[in-house]
Amino acid sequence: MVRLDKEKILVNQYSQNNWKRNFLTIAGGQTVSLIGSAAVQFSLIWWLASETGSPIMMSIAGVFAFLPQLILGPFVGVWVDRLSRKTVIIAADLFIGLVALVFALVFLFDTPPYWSVCVVLGIRAIGNVFHSPAIQAAVPMLVPQQELVRANGWSQFMQSGAFLLGPVLGAAMYASLPLWIILLSDLAGALVASATVALVKIPDPERKTQQIPHFFHEMKEGAAAIWQDKKLFIVTAATLLGMVFYAPLSTYYPLMTSDYFKADAWHASMVNFGYAGGMMLCAIILGKFGTIRNKFPVIHLGLLGMGTSSLLCGLLPAEMFWFWIFAALCTLLGASSNLYNIPYIAYMQETIPPERMGRAFSLIGSLSSATMPLGLLIAGPITENRGVSLWFFVSGIALLILTLISALFVLPRKADKVGKSNS
Protein backbone atom coordinates (compact mmCIF):
# COMPACT_ATOMS: atom_id res chain seq x y z
CA MET A 1 0.00 0.00 0.00
CA VAL A 2 1.35 3.42 -1.00
CA ARG A 3 1.92 5.64 1.98
CA LEU A 4 1.62 9.34 1.35
CA ASP A 5 2.12 11.84 4.14
CA LYS A 6 1.58 15.57 3.90
CA GLU A 7 5.22 16.19 3.08
CA LYS A 8 5.13 13.79 0.16
CA ILE A 9 1.95 15.40 -1.19
CA LEU A 10 3.62 18.81 -1.09
CA VAL A 11 6.68 17.41 -2.84
CA ASN A 12 4.55 16.00 -5.62
CA GLN A 13 2.61 19.26 -6.00
CA TYR A 14 5.93 21.10 -6.31
CA SER A 15 7.28 18.63 -8.79
CA GLN A 16 4.30 19.00 -11.16
CA ASN A 17 5.79 22.30 -12.30
CA ASN A 18 8.51 21.87 -14.94
CA TRP A 19 9.53 18.50 -13.57
CA LYS A 20 10.46 17.18 -17.01
CA ARG A 21 12.82 20.05 -17.72
CA ASN A 22 14.52 19.85 -14.31
CA PHE A 23 14.76 16.06 -14.35
CA LEU A 24 16.08 15.85 -17.91
CA THR A 25 18.63 18.61 -17.25
CA ILE A 26 20.16 16.62 -14.40
CA ALA A 27 19.81 13.29 -16.20
CA GLY A 28 21.47 14.72 -19.31
CA GLY A 29 24.48 15.96 -17.35
CA GLN A 30 24.80 12.64 -15.55
CA THR A 31 24.66 10.84 -18.90
CA VAL A 32 27.60 12.84 -20.24
CA SER A 33 29.52 12.00 -17.07
CA LEU A 34 28.63 8.31 -17.36
CA ILE A 35 29.89 8.14 -20.95
CA GLY A 36 33.29 9.37 -19.80
CA SER A 37 33.28 7.07 -16.78
CA ALA A 38 32.27 4.03 -18.85
CA ALA A 39 35.04 4.72 -21.36
CA VAL A 40 37.58 5.07 -18.56
CA GLN A 41 36.38 1.98 -16.70
CA PHE A 42 36.42 -0.13 -19.87
CA SER A 43 39.94 1.03 -20.72
CA LEU A 44 41.29 0.37 -17.22
CA ILE A 45 39.65 -3.07 -16.92
CA TRP A 46 40.75 -4.09 -20.41
CA TRP A 47 44.30 -2.89 -19.73
CA LEU A 48 44.34 -4.95 -16.54
CA ALA A 49 42.80 -8.02 -18.25
CA SER A 50 45.13 -7.91 -21.26
CA GLU A 51 48.25 -7.23 -19.18
CA THR A 52 47.63 -9.89 -16.50
CA GLY A 53 45.12 -12.39 -17.97
CA SER A 54 44.38 -13.41 -14.39
CA PRO A 55 40.89 -13.98 -12.93
CA ILE A 56 42.42 -13.53 -9.47
CA MET A 57 43.67 -10.03 -10.37
CA MET A 58 40.27 -9.18 -11.88
CA SER A 59 38.61 -10.42 -8.70
CA ILE A 60 40.87 -8.25 -6.56
CA ALA A 61 40.03 -5.23 -8.74
CA GLY A 62 36.32 -5.98 -8.29
CA VAL A 63 36.72 -6.23 -4.51
CA PHE A 64 38.48 -2.85 -4.37
CA ALA A 65 35.76 -1.26 -6.51
CA PHE A 66 32.96 -2.41 -4.19
CA LEU A 67 34.66 -2.30 -0.80
CA PRO A 68 33.97 1.42 -0.11
CA GLN A 69 30.24 0.90 -0.56
CA LEU A 70 30.33 -2.05 1.82
CA ILE A 71 32.21 -0.15 4.53
CA LEU A 72 30.84 3.37 4.16
CA GLY A 73 27.38 2.83 2.68
CA PRO A 74 25.26 2.56 5.86
CA PHE A 75 26.91 5.66 7.34
CA VAL A 76 26.75 7.66 4.10
CA GLY A 77 22.99 7.21 3.88
CA VAL A 78 22.53 9.09 7.14
CA TRP A 79 24.64 12.00 5.88
CA VAL A 80 22.75 12.08 2.58
CA ASP A 81 19.48 12.50 4.49
CA ARG A 82 21.01 15.15 6.79
CA LEU A 83 22.77 17.27 4.15
CA SER A 84 21.58 19.03 1.01
CA ARG A 85 21.25 16.36 -1.66
CA LYS A 86 22.23 18.87 -4.33
CA THR A 87 25.49 19.62 -2.52
CA VAL A 88 26.24 15.92 -2.04
CA ILE A 89 25.72 15.16 -5.76
CA ILE A 90 27.96 18.02 -6.92
CA ALA A 91 30.72 17.22 -4.40
CA ALA A 92 30.67 13.52 -5.36
CA ASP A 93 30.92 14.32 -9.08
CA LEU A 94 33.86 16.67 -8.54
CA PHE A 95 35.62 14.12 -6.31
CA ILE A 96 35.41 11.46 -9.05
CA GLY A 97 36.78 13.97 -11.56
CA LEU A 98 39.68 14.86 -9.24
CA VAL A 99 40.63 11.19 -8.83
CA ALA A 100 40.70 10.80 -12.62
CA LEU A 101 42.93 13.87 -12.94
CA VAL A 102 45.46 12.61 -10.38
CA PHE A 103 45.67 9.14 -11.95
CA ALA A 104 46.01 10.69 -15.42
CA LEU A 105 49.11 12.51 -14.20
CA VAL A 106 50.48 9.22 -12.84
CA PHE A 107 50.05 7.52 -16.24
CA LEU A 108 51.51 10.59 -17.98
CA PHE A 109 54.88 10.27 -16.27
CA ASP A 110 55.13 6.49 -15.78
CA THR A 111 53.41 3.11 -16.18
CA PRO A 112 51.99 2.34 -12.73
CA PRO A 113 51.95 -1.17 -11.23
CA TYR A 114 48.86 -3.34 -11.67
CA TRP A 115 47.75 -2.91 -8.06
CA SER A 116 47.46 0.87 -8.54
CA VAL A 117 44.47 0.33 -10.83
CA CYS A 118 42.76 -1.55 -8.00
CA VAL A 119 43.49 1.32 -5.60
CA VAL A 120 42.15 3.93 -8.03
CA LEU A 121 38.97 1.93 -8.59
CA GLY A 122 38.54 1.83 -4.80
CA ILE A 123 39.13 5.57 -4.26
CA ARG A 124 36.89 6.46 -7.18
CA ALA A 125 34.15 4.28 -5.71
CA ILE A 126 34.07 6.50 -2.60
CA GLY A 127 32.50 9.24 -4.73
CA ASN A 128 29.90 6.79 -6.05
CA VAL A 129 28.99 5.77 -2.47
CA PHE A 130 27.74 9.32 -1.88
CA HIS A 131 26.50 10.00 -5.40
CA SER A 132 24.15 7.07 -5.99
CA PRO A 133 21.83 7.35 -2.93
CA ALA A 134 21.76 11.15 -3.24
CA ILE A 135 20.58 10.95 -6.88
CA GLN A 136 18.02 8.23 -6.17
CA ALA A 137 16.67 10.13 -3.16
CA ALA A 138 16.51 13.39 -5.15
CA VAL A 139 14.37 11.97 -7.97
CA PRO A 140 11.10 11.72 -5.96
CA MET A 141 11.63 15.35 -4.87
CA LEU A 142 11.59 16.42 -8.53
CA VAL A 143 9.16 13.98 -10.14
CA PRO A 144 5.44 13.43 -9.40
CA GLN A 145 4.78 10.06 -7.83
CA GLN A 146 2.68 8.75 -10.73
CA GLU A 147 5.55 9.53 -13.13
CA LEU A 148 8.33 7.74 -11.24
CA VAL A 149 8.39 4.63 -13.46
CA ARG A 150 8.49 6.82 -16.57
CA ALA A 151 11.24 9.05 -15.13
CA ASN A 152 13.31 6.06 -14.05
CA GLY A 153 12.78 4.55 -17.49
CA TRP A 154 14.12 7.71 -19.12
CA SER A 155 17.01 7.81 -16.68
CA GLN A 156 17.90 4.18 -17.35
CA PHE A 157 17.58 4.81 -21.10
CA MET A 158 20.14 7.60 -20.96
CA GLN A 159 22.38 5.62 -18.62
CA SER A 160 22.14 2.62 -20.91
CA GLY A 161 23.07 4.86 -23.83
CA ALA A 162 26.10 5.95 -21.86
CA PHE A 163 27.05 2.36 -21.10
CA LEU A 164 26.52 1.57 -24.79
CA LEU A 165 28.63 4.43 -26.12
CA GLY A 166 31.22 4.39 -23.32
CA PRO A 167 32.82 0.99 -24.03
CA VAL A 168 32.78 1.60 -27.79
CA LEU A 169 34.38 4.99 -27.22
CA GLY A 170 36.75 3.40 -24.70
CA ALA A 171 37.81 0.71 -27.20
CA ALA A 172 38.43 3.33 -29.90
CA MET A 173 40.35 5.57 -27.51
CA TYR A 174 42.33 2.63 -26.08
CA ALA A 175 43.49 1.69 -29.58
CA SER A 176 44.68 5.18 -30.44
CA LEU A 177 45.36 7.19 -27.28
CA PRO A 178 47.46 6.83 -24.13
CA LEU A 179 45.56 6.03 -20.93
CA TRP A 180 46.26 9.39 -19.32
CA ILE A 181 44.27 11.19 -22.03
CA ILE A 182 41.40 8.69 -21.70
CA LEU A 183 41.28 9.36 -17.96
CA LEU A 184 40.75 13.07 -18.58
CA SER A 185 37.37 12.29 -20.20
CA ASP A 186 36.16 11.32 -16.71
CA LEU A 187 37.16 14.76 -15.44
CA ALA A 188 35.35 16.52 -18.30
CA GLY A 189 32.19 14.52 -17.67
CA ALA A 190 32.27 15.29 -13.95
CA LEU A 191 32.46 19.03 -14.65
CA VAL A 192 29.47 18.87 -17.02
CA ALA A 193 27.41 16.84 -14.52
CA SER A 194 28.17 19.25 -11.67
CA ALA A 195 27.19 22.26 -13.78
CA THR A 196 23.79 20.80 -14.74
CA VAL A 197 22.96 19.89 -11.13
CA ALA A 198 23.89 23.42 -10.06
CA LEU A 199 21.28 24.83 -12.48
CA VAL A 200 18.34 22.94 -10.93
CA LYS A 201 16.60 23.58 -7.61
CA ILE A 202 16.34 20.30 -5.69
CA PRO A 203 14.12 20.57 -2.59
CA ASP A 204 15.17 18.64 0.49
CA PRO A 205 12.61 16.99 2.79
CA GLU A 206 11.95 18.80 6.04
CA ARG A 207 12.61 16.93 9.26
CA LYS A 208 9.59 16.19 11.38
CA THR A 209 11.62 17.33 14.38
CA GLN A 210 14.31 19.96 14.68
CA GLN A 211 16.35 17.76 16.99
CA ILE A 212 18.95 15.69 15.15
CA PRO A 213 18.48 12.01 16.10
CA HIS A 214 21.29 9.72 17.14
CA PHE A 215 23.40 8.57 14.18
CA PHE A 216 22.84 4.84 14.70
CA HIS A 217 19.14 5.41 15.34
CA GLU A 218 18.89 6.95 11.89
CA MET A 219 20.69 3.96 10.38
CA LYS A 220 18.16 1.69 12.10
CA GLU A 221 15.29 3.72 10.62
CA GLY A 222 16.69 3.14 7.13
CA ALA A 223 16.71 -0.62 7.71
CA ALA A 224 13.20 -0.51 9.23
CA ALA A 225 11.84 1.15 6.09
CA ILE A 226 12.71 -2.03 4.18
CA TRP A 227 11.94 -4.57 6.90
CA GLN A 228 8.41 -3.23 7.51
CA ASP A 229 7.42 -3.91 3.90
CA LYS A 230 7.45 -7.73 3.86
CA LYS A 231 7.22 -8.11 0.08
CA LEU A 232 10.04 -5.63 -0.45
CA PHE A 233 12.12 -7.41 2.19
CA ILE A 234 11.64 -10.87 0.61
CA VAL A 235 12.48 -9.67 -2.91
CA THR A 236 15.50 -7.74 -1.63
CA ALA A 237 16.78 -10.71 0.38
CA ALA A 238 16.39 -13.12 -2.56
CA THR A 239 18.06 -10.68 -4.93
CA LEU A 240 21.00 -10.05 -2.61
CA LEU A 241 21.62 -13.78 -2.23
CA GLY A 242 21.43 -14.13 -6.01
CA MET A 243 23.86 -11.26 -6.47
CA VAL A 244 26.56 -13.24 -4.64
CA PHE A 245 26.59 -15.44 -7.74
CA TYR A 246 25.57 -12.87 -10.35
CA ALA A 247 27.63 -9.80 -9.40
CA PRO A 248 31.06 -11.29 -10.37
CA LEU A 249 29.86 -11.62 -13.96
CA SER A 250 30.37 -7.88 -14.56
CA THR A 251 34.08 -8.46 -13.87
CA TYR A 252 34.28 -11.63 -15.98
CA TYR A 253 32.81 -10.32 -19.26
CA PRO A 254 36.28 -9.23 -20.52
CA LEU A 255 37.81 -12.57 -19.51
CA MET A 256 34.97 -14.48 -21.18
CA THR A 257 35.76 -12.56 -24.36
CA SER A 258 39.57 -12.64 -24.26
CA ASP A 259 40.33 -16.00 -22.63
CA TYR A 260 37.32 -18.20 -23.43
CA PHE A 261 36.46 -17.03 -26.96
CA LYS A 262 40.00 -15.72 -27.75
CA ALA A 263 38.61 -12.42 -29.05
CA ASP A 264 39.99 -8.87 -28.84
CA ALA A 265 39.03 -5.52 -27.31
CA TRP A 266 36.68 -4.70 -30.18
CA HIS A 267 34.67 -7.86 -29.51
CA ALA A 268 34.64 -7.00 -25.80
CA SER A 269 33.13 -3.63 -26.66
CA MET A 270 30.42 -5.44 -28.66
CA VAL A 271 29.47 -7.39 -25.53
CA ASN A 272 29.11 -4.15 -23.61
CA PHE A 273 27.28 -2.66 -26.60
CA GLY A 274 24.77 -5.51 -26.55
CA TYR A 275 24.26 -5.37 -22.79
CA ALA A 276 23.68 -1.61 -22.86
CA GLY A 277 21.45 -1.95 -25.94
CA GLY A 278 19.24 -4.41 -24.07
CA MET A 279 19.03 -2.01 -21.14
CA MET A 280 18.06 0.82 -23.50
CA LEU A 281 15.36 -1.19 -25.22
CA CYS A 282 13.78 -2.18 -21.92
CA ALA A 283 14.03 1.39 -20.60
CA ILE A 284 12.30 2.72 -23.74
CA ILE A 285 9.41 0.28 -23.31
CA LEU A 286 8.96 1.02 -19.60
CA GLY A 287 9.33 4.76 -20.19
CA LYS A 288 6.61 4.63 -22.85
CA PHE A 289 4.12 2.79 -20.67
CA GLY A 290 4.91 5.12 -17.79
CA THR A 291 3.07 3.36 -15.00
CA ILE A 292 3.12 -0.22 -13.70
CA ARG A 293 0.43 -0.78 -11.07
CA ASN A 294 1.67 -4.16 -9.79
CA LYS A 295 5.44 -4.04 -9.93
CA PHE A 296 6.35 -7.37 -8.35
CA PRO A 297 5.42 -9.65 -11.31
CA VAL A 298 7.58 -7.45 -13.56
CA ILE A 299 10.44 -7.54 -11.06
CA HIS A 300 10.36 -11.34 -10.97
CA LEU A 301 10.15 -11.55 -14.77
CA GLY A 302 13.36 -9.51 -14.89
CA LEU A 303 15.08 -11.83 -12.40
CA LEU A 304 13.91 -14.85 -14.44
CA GLY A 305 15.46 -13.39 -17.58
CA MET A 306 18.75 -12.68 -15.81
CA GLY A 307 19.01 -16.23 -14.50
CA THR A 308 18.08 -17.88 -17.80
CA SER A 309 20.50 -15.75 -19.84
CA SER A 310 23.39 -16.37 -17.46
CA LEU A 311 22.77 -20.12 -17.45
CA LEU A 312 22.76 -20.28 -21.27
CA CYS A 313 25.99 -18.24 -21.46
CA GLY A 314 27.69 -20.86 -19.34
CA LEU A 315 26.66 -23.65 -21.74
CA LEU A 316 28.18 -22.10 -24.90
CA PRO A 317 31.12 -23.87 -26.60
CA ALA A 318 34.46 -22.03 -26.76
CA GLU A 319 34.24 -21.28 -30.49
CA MET A 320 34.12 -17.91 -32.24
CA PHE A 321 30.73 -18.63 -33.82
CA TRP A 322 29.21 -18.94 -30.35
CA PHE A 323 30.70 -15.64 -29.27
CA TRP A 324 27.91 -13.84 -31.14
CA ILE A 325 25.33 -15.95 -29.31
CA PHE A 326 27.08 -14.88 -26.11
CA ALA A 327 26.77 -11.22 -27.18
CA ALA A 328 23.05 -11.75 -27.94
CA LEU A 329 22.49 -13.35 -24.52
CA CYS A 330 24.26 -10.39 -22.92
CA THR A 331 21.70 -8.18 -24.68
CA LEU A 332 18.94 -10.19 -23.01
CA LEU A 333 20.82 -9.89 -19.71
CA GLY A 334 20.84 -6.10 -20.03
CA ALA A 335 17.12 -5.95 -20.84
CA SER A 336 16.29 -8.27 -17.95
CA SER A 337 18.35 -6.26 -15.47
CA ASN A 338 16.37 -3.09 -16.24
CA LEU A 339 13.11 -5.05 -16.23
CA TYR A 340 13.98 -5.83 -12.61
CA ASN A 341 15.72 -2.61 -11.60
CA ILE A 342 13.36 0.12 -12.84
CA PRO A 343 10.15 -1.08 -11.12
CA TYR A 344 12.16 -2.06 -8.02
CA ILE A 345 13.57 1.47 -7.61
CA ALA A 346 10.20 3.05 -8.42
CA TYR A 347 8.50 0.91 -5.76
CA MET A 348 11.01 2.07 -3.14
CA GLN A 349 10.61 5.72 -4.19
CA GLU A 350 6.82 5.41 -3.92
CA THR A 351 6.60 3.68 -0.56
CA ILE A 352 9.56 4.86 1.55
CA PRO A 353 9.19 8.26 3.28
CA PRO A 354 11.41 10.95 1.66
CA GLU A 355 13.30 11.68 4.89
CA ARG A 356 14.41 8.01 5.09
CA MET A 357 15.05 7.40 1.41
CA GLY A 358 18.77 8.21 1.38
CA ARG A 359 19.42 5.73 4.19
CA ALA A 360 17.32 3.02 2.57
CA PHE A 361 19.01 3.31 -0.83
CA SER A 362 22.43 3.53 0.78
CA LEU A 363 21.77 0.40 2.83
CA ILE A 364 20.66 -1.51 -0.26
CA GLY A 365 23.78 -0.29 -2.04
CA SER A 366 26.00 -1.46 0.80
CA LEU A 367 24.40 -4.89 0.96
CA SER A 368 24.64 -5.20 -2.83
CA SER A 369 28.30 -4.24 -2.69
CA ALA A 370 28.92 -6.89 -0.05
CA THR A 371 27.79 -9.50 -2.54
CA MET A 372 30.47 -8.52 -5.06
CA PRO A 373 33.62 -9.19 -2.95
CA LEU A 374 31.98 -12.25 -1.38
CA GLY A 375 31.08 -13.58 -4.80
CA LEU A 376 34.52 -12.81 -6.23
CA LEU A 377 36.29 -14.51 -3.34
CA ILE A 378 34.30 -17.66 -4.13
CA ALA A 379 34.35 -17.31 -7.90
CA GLY A 380 38.02 -16.34 -8.29
CA PRO A 381 39.60 -19.70 -7.38
CA ILE A 382 36.85 -21.64 -9.22
CA THR A 383 37.25 -19.70 -12.47
CA GLU A 384 41.04 -19.84 -12.18
CA ASN A 385 40.95 -23.68 -12.08
CA ARG A 386 37.73 -24.62 -13.93
CA GLY A 387 37.21 -21.77 -16.37
CA VAL A 388 35.12 -18.58 -16.38
CA SER A 389 32.15 -20.16 -18.26
CA LEU A 390 31.38 -22.41 -15.28
CA TRP A 391 30.57 -19.39 -13.13
CA PHE A 392 28.03 -18.11 -15.65
CA PHE A 393 26.25 -21.46 -15.43
CA VAL A 394 26.36 -21.55 -11.61
CA SER A 395 25.10 -17.97 -11.43
CA GLY A 396 22.12 -18.77 -13.65
CA ILE A 397 21.09 -21.81 -11.60
CA ALA A 398 21.32 -19.86 -8.32
CA LEU A 399 19.27 -16.93 -9.64
CA LEU A 400 16.52 -19.16 -11.01
CA ILE A 401 16.16 -21.02 -7.70
CA LEU A 402 16.03 -17.82 -5.64
CA THR A 403 13.58 -16.17 -8.07
CA LEU A 404 11.24 -19.14 -7.71
CA ILE A 405 11.41 -19.00 -3.91
CA SER A 406 10.73 -15.25 -3.87
CA ALA A 407 7.81 -15.58 -6.30
CA LEU A 408 6.16 -18.23 -4.12
CA PHE A 409 6.04 -15.80 -1.17
CA VAL A 410 5.46 -12.49 -2.96
CA LEU A 411 3.28 -13.05 -6.02
CA PRO A 412 -0.45 -13.53 -5.47
CA ARG A 413 -1.80 -17.03 -6.08
CA LYS A 414 -5.09 -17.88 -7.77
CA ALA A 415 -6.64 -18.89 -4.46
CA ASP A 416 -5.81 -15.47 -3.06
CA LYS A 417 -7.40 -13.74 -6.04
CA VAL A 418 -10.53 -15.87 -5.79
CA GLY A 419 -10.80 -15.13 -2.06
CA LYS A 420 -10.50 -11.39 -2.66
CA SER A 421 -13.11 -11.43 -5.42
CA ASN A 422 -15.56 -13.39 -3.24
CA SER A 423 -15.09 -11.02 -0.34
Model pLDDT, residue 225: 75
Model pLDDT, residue 4: 42
Report the pLDDT averaged over residues 156-183. 77
Residue at 330 is within a domain: yes
Q: Is 235 helix (H, G, I), strand (E, B) or coil?
A: helix
Residue at 331 is within a domain: yes
Report the number of secondary-structure helices (H) and strands (E) in the chain.
Answer: 16, 0
Nearest C-alpha neighbor of 255 from the set 388, 378, 382? 388
Kindly report the CATH number assigned to the domain that includes residue 189.
Answer: 1.20.1250.20
Q: Is the pLDDT of residue 364 over 70?
A: yes
Contacts of 416 (CB under 8 A, 6+ apart): none
Lowest mean pLDDT, pick from 52-56, 109-113, 217-221, 383-387: 217-221
**pLDDT tens profile 20-72:** 788 888 888 888 888 888 788 778 777 777 777 676 777 677 677 777 777 77
Report the pLDDT averaged over residues 257-271. 78
Model pLDDT, residue 217: 56
Other Cβ atoms closer than 10 A to 19: 17
**Cα separation, 76 vs 125, whole angstroms:** 13
**Cα separation, 199 vs 69, whole angstroms:** 28
Quote the number of domains for the chain. 1
Other Cβ atoms closer than 10 A to 34: 21
Residue at 423 is within a domain: no
Model pLDDT, residue 219: 59
pTM above 0.75, yes or no: no
Supply the range of the domain harboring residue 235.
6-200+214-411
- Which of the two residues, 42 and 237, has the higher pLDDT score? 237
